[in-house]
Structure 1
Amino acid sequence: MPAYFDFLLHGLALARTRKMLSFEQVKRSLENAGQPHVLQFWPELCEGDRESFLQELSQLDLQGLRDHCEGAAKAAASPSASLDQYVEPVPPQSIGSVRKSDRDSLAAWENEGLMQISKNRVGVLLLAGGQGTRLGVQYPKGMYNVGLPSGKTLYQIQAERIHKIQELADVKHGSKCTIPWYIMTSEFTLAPTEKFFKEANYFGLEPSNIFFFEQRMIPAVTFDGKVILQGKGKIAMAPDGNGGLYQALRDNMVLEDMKKKGVEYLHVYCVDNILVKMADPVFIGFCLYKGADCGAKVVEKAHPAEPVGVVCRVQGISQVVEYSEIQPETAELRGPGGELVYSAGNICNHFFTRAFLQDVAEKFEGQMKQHVAMKKVPFVDTRGNQVKPTNPNGIKMEKFVFDVFPFSRNFVVFEVVREDEFSPLKNADGAATDSPTTSRNSLLAQHCRWAMAAGAKLLDEHGNTLPTTASVSAGDNTPAHCEISPLVSYFGEGLEPLLKGKTLPTPFILDKKQAEELQAQKHFSDEQSTM
């Protein structure tokens, strides 16, 4: 896509240094851009609202606005080109797998990852700039409580996983390590996220090790190329997609902070995955073993038509191909064993070296592909009435975090088990998938499996024994309410000494305090048995 998008963003980057234009200057620029309607309600605005609106308009690159609007409309009207003749699977030598790798390899990768964590070389980076529109909430997704017995939010679960993986690395290597947490927000999510963390006392993490930063915003546009007014004196703005990360790293001096802290490797993930393994040492170790500068976790597609992007190659270059960009007959291709040829479903869970991020930010960011997103954008109509559309009415231009894969010198893929590591929260309850209910059930089912694998017997509310480990899956409609705090176990480890031989009525919450009590009981029992 033309450079107008980056030209527009460049104008936005100058916002803080650009003085406010006069009304006549703004009016003339909007007319030249073909957007005079932006000022249609100017006579109705009070003095304060006029000043705020003029300040907002002064911060836009008004010279690049025409190209942005026309380009967005043209891109939305252009059908996606089919890539079938150019696609091929990622070669086997670039793929690792939790399911297919032997135990020794998995253990070696985990040990390598834990060693790097113990040396303070690993950071995690959270993509949290999107709005929870589909979820139906007016606050950041990370603050959402999916209804777990503990009442924990996504942010708290993730913070506690950072605590635990630091602890595991410390115990193994006798260190006192830190995993910095970089959190990319947007105009909509920055203030509430910072407030939420502060009120939660940063979930016990050091505030100096949590770095909040903001991605850029760009105007939303109608299908005929007109800037959308959110209010009489307010343009509808939208984050520039999670691929806005790379520009935001530069804008906010994030890479400099990483270098100062000694961070060499980054785990990047989306806020809405309740099963995400923070700073997963196995994934990090695998990527380092392969000498990769960029890696992607994937899950096997549930079926050929599942609407997820596929990690593959296009004319020899690694990238994500959207499900709409290949024909059904290509998506349905199967190998000799009956497996899907294009099965590597992208889950927005990535490994990057800091050096690679530096290269992208400095050399490649302007070359990234751009995508059209059709959205339901609230607006004011020509009479000034507020309208909440029921169908998509606007275009938001986005870049995606995975659009940097083609710039990698050594790209790898790591397949994980969906039931263990991927259950996104996107839709409100009532939807068939990716809802609070499905997210909650995924976590509870996983914890049931952990408890049973540790040798515990779980009872339902009527005192009946629950099915064996093999029967408990994320697809169960009503898994037992068995929740294990991340402060107790990162990924099912360390539970056998606490739970083996125990009969546990559900709902059951194993938090840190209860784990300590169970440990004390075990020590007492051991002492009694030796007397």
Structure 2
Amino acid sequence: MKEELLTILRPYHQEHLLAFWDELDQEEQAHLAEQIKAIDFALITKMYAACCTETNHSQNTLLAEPPVAVRMGASTDVDQRAAEQAGLAALADGTVGVALVAGGQGSRLGFDHPKGMYPIGPISGSTLFDILFGKVIATRSRAKASVPIYLMTSPATHQETLAYLNREQNFGIPAAEIMVFCQGTMPAVDATNGKLLLKSKSSLFLSPDGHGGMLAALNRCEALRDMQRRGIKHLFYFQVDNPLATVCDPALIGHHILARSEYTLQVIAKQAPEDKVGNVVQLEGQTQIIEYSDLPAETANLRNPDGSLKLWAGSIAVHVFDVDFLCRLAVQRDALPIHYARKMVNFVDSDGKICQPIEPNAIKFEQFIFDLLPSASSTITVEVDPAMAFAPLKNGPGEKTDTAEHVQQQLMHFYRQTLRAAGLQVAETARVEIDPRFALTPGLLKNKIAAGSVIKDGTYVH
């Protein structure tokens, strides 16, 4: 077996991966061999060569324009109602599925489990998974139709997520209506020479291939085929760290359908040039997303005559895809470009010792789902109020933004607004929470709680 592996490795000067082969037992050898055989070394060599050629993005980004968008307050009530009705009709027809990206770990939150298991309910202590699955269940009930979930994990979260969902009986989602699959991985390489790094003597250092890995993973696990079999035409995509996401937002789905869009983005208006969100722009005749780290300050600070930001649209990682579009792109080898980042990675050196670098020593590769945008024949961007749809849980205690405390405050503000819109009385500082299974909208709340009722501090409406 060793000679067979060397035949694979020699053309790419990666023989060091077998430096400790003779020290490994049979099981360890089999594991390492399986990892090596799964690597596309020609592609890794090509990616490393490309990342060594620095690209200056700033000249291109100076040409960026704001996207063609449905702005809040700019569209008529009739337009909004038409979009919402189109979305509700699609949901009732059973043509909408959900893609939930849940590969992240809770380590930055001081939580040693998948992030989806983090307890974020301000009163109930419900986890992110519980709240978001509850929104899918409420959508199913409202539409009286199936809304299957395609849940993407990572190697680090897959088994624990499966066990958790099994323990919680999928929070009421029928087993036939959920498919849990794992995103792929890519090896990390030495930044100085492109050699793959060993995590241990018997294992390569592999990291998740980014949220863009969803496209290949959906194809690999035959989720796309499952969608076609079910008659799913539109896939609503969001991430597990945003409990305020309006899951299966009928208006967003409706705008997508009415515009005959293949890829639709939900965005918020940036509050400051340096906001850490992807910038949705029109560039070279196409809708694109420029990462905040790739947008020069000069471009980010451009203003309109009224003083507002020229590049105003911030991505919140909520999208709607046409399933036919995803199927078309999934079979194209180069549908998504590869991005790279220099990171500090512990590795096994030539003496078999674990090295812990003090500065970035490795290159990690990943793909971004929004790089599908230029391949779409038509796109549309739809603005939403962040107070109603965006509360990302990113940081641990003590940080300035996006902590659990911040998210809970945003959730309670949303719940208070929802209760008031339903004609109920609630104090401005009241701690309240609504289980989405009980009522997803103010209209549904009106049918369950008498108008004028007083909602007390500490109330969990469920």
TM-score of the superposed pair, with normalisation by structure 2: 0.92
Q: In structure 2, the residue corresponding to 1:424 is in which secondary structure?
A: coil
1:254 counterpart residue number: 223
Distance 2:336 2:34 in 1: 30
Contact 2:61 2:295 in 1 (8 A): yes
Picking from 116, 120, 132, the partner of 2:90 is 116
1:482 counterpart residue number: 432
Contact 1:124 1:267 in 2 (8 A): yes
2:214 counterpart residue number: 245
Change (3 A) 1:147 1:66: same
* 1:404 Cα offset (Å): 0.9
- Which residues of structure 1 form unaligned runs of 5+? 1-21, 171-176, 459-465, 468-478, 512-531
Contact 2:287 2:374 in 1 (8 A): yes
Higher relative CO (Cα under 8 Å, sequence separation at least 6) belongs to 2
1:529 counterpart residue number: none
2:389 counterpart residue number: 421
* 1:428 Cα offset (Å): 2.0
Q: In structure 1, the residue corresponding to 2:399 is in which secondary structure?
A: coil
Q: Confirm or deny that 1:157 pairs with 2:157.
A: no
Contact 2:62 2:299 in 1 (8 A): no
* 1:185 Cα offset (Å): 2.2
Contact 1:420 1:446 in 2 (8 A): yes
Picking from 43, 50, 59, the partner of 2:38 is 59
* 1:64 Cα offset (Å): 4.6
Point out the more displaced range, 222-231 or 419-428: 222-231
2:103 counterpart residue number: 129
Q: Confirm or deny that 1:372 pairs with 2:319.
A: no
Point out the more displaced range, 424-433 or 401-410: 424-433
1:37 counterpart residue number: 16
**What does the per-residue CA deviation read over 1:335-386, in whole Å, with 9 as the maximum and x for residues that have no partner?**
23322110010111111111211222234x5142221233443434555454
Q: In structure 2, the residue corresponding to 1:413 is in which secondary structure?
A: strand
Matches within 5 A, 1:189-200: 189-200=157-168
Matches within 5 A, 1:21-420: 22-72=1-51, 74=52, 78=55, 80-91=57-68, 95-146=69-120, 148-170=122-144, 177-224=145-192, 225-363=194-332, 366-381=334-349, 384-386=352-354, 392-420=360-388
Q: Which amino acid aligns with 2:337?
A: K
**What does the per-residue CA deviation read over 1:47-106, in whole Å, with 9 as the maximum and x for residues that have no partner?**
43233222322332345544344444x15x555444234312223xxx213443333322
Change (3 A) 1:410 1:495: same
Alignment length (residue pairs): 460
Q: Which amino acid aligns with 1:100?
A: A
Contact 1:34 1:66 in 2 (8 A): no
Contact 2:245 2:389 in 1 (8 A): yes
Q: In structure 1, the residue corresponding to 2:444 is in which secondary structure?
A: coil
Q: Which amino acid aligns with 1:86?
A: L
* 1:109 Cα offset (Å): 1.4
Contact 2:47 2:338 in 1 (8 A): no
Contact 2:264 2:320 in 1 (8 A): yes
Q: Which amino acid aligns with 1:164?
A: A
1:10 counterpart residue number: none
Change (3 A) 1:305 1:298: same
What fraction of aligned residue pairs are identical, expressed as a percent? 32
Q: Of Structure 1 and Structure 2, which has the larger fraction of its residues in helix?
A: 1
Distance 2:97 2:189 in 1: 36
Change (3 A) 1:423 1:499: farther
Q: Which amino acid aligns with 2:2?
A: F
Change (3 A) 1:331 1:69: closer
1:436 counterpart residue number: 404
Change (3 A) 1:384 1:151: farther
Contact 2:119 2:126 in 1 (8 A): yes
* 1:42 Cα offset (Å): 3.5
Distance 1:78 1:427 in 2: 30
Contact 2:191 2:342 in 1 (8 A): no
1:445 counterpart residue number: 413
Distance 2:11 2:107 in 1: 33
* 1:282 Cα offset (Å): 0.8
Q: In structure 2, the residue corresponding to 1:149 is in which secondary structure?
A: coil
Distance 2:141 2:71 in 1: 26
Contact 1:82 1:327 in 2 (8 A): no
Q: In structure 2, the residue corresponding to 1:67 is in which secondary structure?
A: helix
Contact 1:33 1:65 in 2 (8 A): no
TM-score of the superposed pair, with normalisation by structure 1: 0.80
Point out the more displaced range, 375-384 or 418-427: 375-384
Distance 2:420 2:371 in 1: 41
* 1:329 Cα offset (Å): 2.5
Change (3 A) 1:389 1:103: farther
**What does the per-residue CA deviation read over 1:85-136, in whole Å, with 9 as the maximum and x for residues that have no partner?**
4312223xxx213443333322221121111111111111112234445344
Contact 1:451 1:499 in 2 (8 A): no
Change (3 A) 1:142 1:314: same
Distance 1:388 1:506 in 2: 50
* 1:264 Cα offset (Å): 0.9
Contact 1:106 1:282 in 2 (8 A): yes
Contact 2:340 2:364 in 1 (8 A): yes
Q: In structure 2, the residue corresponding to 1:247 is in which secondary structure?
A: helix
Q: In structure 2, the residue corresponding to 1:260 is in which secondary structure?
A: helix
2:455 counterpart residue number: 504
